[in-house]
Structure 1
Amino acid sequence: MPDPTQPDPSRPDPAAGAAVPATDAALSAEDNKLVILARSARARVGAVEGAAVRDQDGRTYNGATVSLPSLSVTALQLAVALAVSSGASAIEAAAVVTEASELDGAGHAAVRDLSASAPIHVAAPDATLLGTVSA
């Protein structure tokens, strides 16, 4: 039985960022839609990041970084939370629009809570695909 006081080595460390492997593959139309939704969520409120996820039924959810004195949520955490609160039990794919060079650990872990292998596409603010994290 695993020790609950020790981190699970099979899960991403929420404090550590995930490297974004470069890719030259084109996104499918559905994954490109996630980038567009993430980009619009970020731009709408001038947030650090925007994110979008697609659930097992093809429904999409998007959100932007929230940074309040009493609450901090990454854009990807928020998009996953919205999906779960709407009944999603799995994530098919996700996208994050950011200026960062790596995927934040907390958002990565939130997606992995629902899917061990869903691709997480990371794009620059101009929607240029930087890479895809698949593990």
Structure 2
Amino acid sequence: MAEALAAEDAKLLTLAKATRARTRAAEGAAVRDLDGRTYAAASVDLPSLRLSALAGCVAMAVSSGAAGLEAALVHTAADDVAPADLDVLRDLAGPGVPVHRAGPRGADGVSATTST
């Protein structure tokens, strides 16, 4: 059984889930930067642009001047967070950042961390 999310990470779940539902996207994601600011995005699937929800969050954080990230959450039907998404997250966040995966029944706990 997964442990309950900390309050700050529960906010990420709320943002990711709401973003996914509002846009009817395959995924929603949210991240928190080192200053406590949050960014949420949905996956994009256009003929000339495909972007995962987590990659969208990282792009928004970078374009807003974030120096790093302290947590991420992906709301998805997939069983795991894609390795390519962990690579994108690691580019900004560095190693050791917890990545939560949530599905229809809520968060599964920390499903991955950015590694070296």
- TM-score, normalised via structure 1 length: 0.79
State how many pairs are aligned.
112
Q: Which runs of 5+ in 1 are unaligned?
A: 1-22
Give the 5 Å matches for 1:113-128: 113-114=91-92, 115-126=94-105, 128=106
RMSD: 1.2
Give the 5 Å matches for 1:1-135: 24-114=2-92, 115-126=94-105, 128-132=106-110, 133-134=112-113, 135=115
Q: How far apart, in 1, do the equivalents of 2:13 and 2:87 lie?
A: 19
Contact 1:48 1:65 in 2 (8 A): yes
One-letter amino acid of the counterpart of residue 5, structure 2: L
Contact 1:66 1:74 in 2 (8 A): yes
Q: What is the Cα deviation at residue 107 of structure 1? A: 1.6
Find the structure with the greater CA-based Rg: 1
Q: How far apart, in 1, do the equivalents of 2:46 and 2:11 lie?
A: 28
Q: How far apart, in 2, do the equivalents of 1:69 and 1:94 lie?
A: 27
Q: How far apart, in 2, do the equivalents of 1:85 and 1:106 lie?
A: 20
Q: How far apart, in 2, do the equivalents of 1:68 and 1:24 lie?
A: 35
Larger relative contact order (Cα-Cα within 8 Å, sequence gap ≥ 6): 1
Q: How far apart, in 2, do the equivalents of 1:30 and 1:62 lie?
A: 14
Q: How far apart, in 1, do the equivalents of 2:46 and 2:99 lie?
A: 26
Q: How far apart, in 2, do the equivalents of 1:125 and 1:85 lie?
A: 30
Q: How far apart, in 1, do the equivalents of 2:2 and 2:77 lie?
A: 19
Q: Which has the higher strand share?
A: 2
Moved over 6 A (4+): none
Q: What is the Cα deviation at residue 125 of structure 1? A: 3.0
Give the structure 2 partner of residue 8 of structure 1.
none
Q: How far apart, in 2, do the equivalents of 1:82 and 1:55 lie?
A: 11
Q: How far apart, in 2, do the equivalents of 1:29 and 1:97 lie?
A: 17
